[in-house]
């Protein structure tokens, strides 16, 4: 079997996945979110590693470790950790992909620099990505500067941080799917780019080496896993989900409803050039690169979390389904959950969240329903942008925790006019990287892996075009009102 570490934005999970695709054991643990300033988001790297260790050992205790062939890692992307290579200790809290502290810095780049960045990386010049977070850590944290002077500084995304700990400081490595999200990696030459390193004042020696996505990245230390286990695949979380849901099929599209929303499609050998979409590396396997096009939305499931923890309108995310269906519509209330700015296709870091259309008759049910609908509207925004490049798409494959919300899934089908297929398992991110590891280790073939992930529920669209047009026009008006709120 494969032990999969699924390192998310709000929790870490470990799954033991058998050669027939069964989940033999699993464990999950949430970790704390830190918000030191408005629109700033941080994690404690030590807590991330501790929770990873906890879920890993919990699963190991439930299985026969002798049956484990490999460990696979999939992770939240763009989040940056700085640590000391000699001590293995973090030098500051991790700066999370959602964090907007470097938004101003990214806006200061000239048009020519922005064009250079987009051409080399496929990414817009936005604080979402890793490079400006590294630059901020170097400029603002004394311990990071000191580590740089002593040549002991490591900058890495969460995959490389956990790999470093899992191998007891033996491996400082990442893969192209994660490297392509840093703004430092040229997706055409498949290497860190000297011009980009210079732009962000980053030294190459601070960064992990890069191996193919299905490479053997090293071995877990026996003190952690009883025996050394090869770590045989690493993929960023959305690429892992894409590998599971669509593979190399360029005629399907997927959306993962996690903390954010991530709409992706494989584009094969072709790099899509769009000002409002992300072109990225899906995976690099056996000397072949599969590219992908992606619309990254900052706030998806996090909006439901905000209803629960921030507004206290619900006590559990599952309540939102029944509340939404307790009213026939939103009463013309729209929620734009730009809690950390707007991602694709708007890329407006100065946008802020908005609730509009409130009247004396508005109830919490209307606000909850409008928040759920906002996830579907944001998804439609991206799909409308992708389809000119990939015409003929009729189906949206979905995964992630919010797909358990029947109201949301039906509204998603209705507002997009696409059939929505929900996977048998909501853990397609974990299954995607486990599939890559299993194929690489000859545990199963790719064809056998594809048969493991069947469709559980199919949602068919019911809205007529004129209704879609009315609702979607109002949504776009609300988005316009939320944009450029911060001067």
Other CB atoms within 10 A of residue 473 CB? 10
432 burial via Cβ count (<10 Å: 0-12, 13-18, 19+): buried
Residue 417 lies in a domain: no
Question: Is residue 298 within 8 Å of 98, Cβ to Cβ?
Answer: yes
**In angstroms, rounded to a whole number, what is the distance separating the alpha carbons of residues 405 and 270?**
35
Residue 33 lies in a domain: yes
**For the chain, percent of residues with pLDDT exceeding 70:** 100
pLDDT in tens, 112-158: 999 999 999 999 898 989 999 999 999 999 999 999 999 999 999 99
pLDDT in tens, 243-258: 998 888 778 899 988 8
Predicted pLDDT at 472: 96
Residue 44 lies in a domain: yes
Residue 455 has pLDDT above 80, yes or no: no
Residue 88 lies in a domain: yes
pLDDT in tens, 381-414: 999 998 888 887 888 999 888 888 999 999 999 9
pLDDT in tens, 317-345: 888 999 999 999 999 999 999 998 888 89
Domain around 187: 2-237
The CATH number of whichever domain residue 69 belongs to comes to 3.30.420.40
Summary mean pLDDT of the chain? 92
Residue 74 lies in a domain: yes
pLDDT in tens, 351-387: 999 999 999 999 999 999 999 999 999 999 999 998 8
pTM of the model: 0.84
Residue 394 lies in a domain: no
Query: What does the pLDDT average to over 444-462?
Result: 86
Query: What does the pLDDT average to over 88-110?
Result: 93
Residue 425 lies in a domain: no
How many distinct structural domains can be found in the chain?
Answer: 1
CA 342, 343, 344, 347 torsion: positive or negative? positive
Residue 179 has pLDDT above 90, yes or no: yes
Residue 315 lies in a domain: no
Predicted pLDDT at 349: 80
Predicted pLDDT at 95: 97
Query: What does the pLDDT average to over 82-110?
Result: 94
């Amino acid at each position: 079997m494969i032990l999969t570490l699924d390192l998310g934005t709000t929790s870490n999970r470990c799954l033991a996945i058998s050669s027939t695709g069964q989940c033999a054991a699993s464990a999950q643990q949430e970790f704390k979110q830190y918000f030191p300033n408005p629109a700033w988001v941080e994690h404690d790297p030590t807590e991330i590693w501790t929770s990873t260790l906890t879920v890993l050992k919990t699963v190991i205790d439930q299985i026969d470790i002798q049956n484990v062939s490999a460990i696979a890692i999939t992770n939240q992307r763009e989040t940056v950790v700085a640590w000391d290579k000699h001590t293995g200790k973090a030098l500051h809290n991790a700066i999370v992909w959602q964090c907007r502290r470097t938004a101003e810095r990214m806006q200061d780049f000239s048009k020519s620099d922005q064009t250079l960045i987009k051409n080399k990386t496929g990414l817009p010049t936005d604080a979402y990505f890793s490079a400006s977070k590294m630059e901020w850590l170097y400029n603002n944290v004394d311990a990071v500067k000191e580590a740089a002077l002593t040549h002991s500084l490591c900058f890495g995304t969460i995959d490389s941080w956990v790999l470093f700990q899992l191998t007891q400081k033996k491996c400082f490595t990442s893969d192209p799917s994660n490297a392509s999200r840093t703004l430092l990696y040229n997706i055409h030459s498949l290497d860190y780019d000297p011009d980009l390193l210079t732009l962000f004042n980053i030294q190459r020696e601070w960064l992990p080496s890069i191996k193919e996505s299905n490479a053997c990245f090293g071995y877990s230390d026996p003190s952690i896993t009883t025996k050394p286990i090869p770590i045989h695949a690493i993929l960023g979380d959305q690429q892992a989900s894409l590998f599971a849901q669509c593979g190399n099929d360029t005629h399907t599209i997927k959306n993962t409803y996690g903390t954010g929303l991530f709409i992706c499609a494989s584009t094969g050998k072709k790099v899509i050039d769009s000002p409002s979409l992300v072109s990225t590396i899906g995976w690099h396997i056996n000397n072949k690169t599969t590219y992908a096009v992606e619309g990254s939305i900052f706030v998806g499931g996090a909006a439901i979390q905000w209803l629960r923890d921030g507004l206290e309108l619900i006590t559990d995310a599952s309540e939102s389904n029944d509340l939404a269906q307790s009213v026939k519509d939103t009463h013309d209330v729209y929620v734009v959950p730009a809690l950390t700015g707007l991602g694709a296709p708007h890329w407006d870091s100065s946008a802020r969240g908005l609730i509009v259309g409130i009247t004396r008759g508005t109830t919490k049910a209307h606000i909850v329903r409008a928040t759920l609908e906002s996830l579907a509207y944001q998804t439609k925004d991206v799909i409308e942008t992708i389809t000119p490049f990939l015409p003929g798409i009729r189906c949206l494959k979905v995964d992630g925790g919010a797909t358990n919300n029947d109201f949301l899934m039906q509204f998603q089908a209705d507002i997009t006019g696409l059939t929505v297929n929900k996977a048998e398992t909501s853990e397609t991110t974990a299954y995607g990287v486990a599939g890559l590891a299993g194929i690489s280790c000859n545990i199963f073939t790719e064809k056998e892996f594809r048969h493991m992930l069947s469709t559980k529920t199919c949602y068919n669209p019911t809205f007529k075009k004129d209704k879609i047009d009315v609702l979607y026009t109002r949504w776009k008006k609300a988005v316009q009102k939320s944009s450029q709120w911060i001067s």
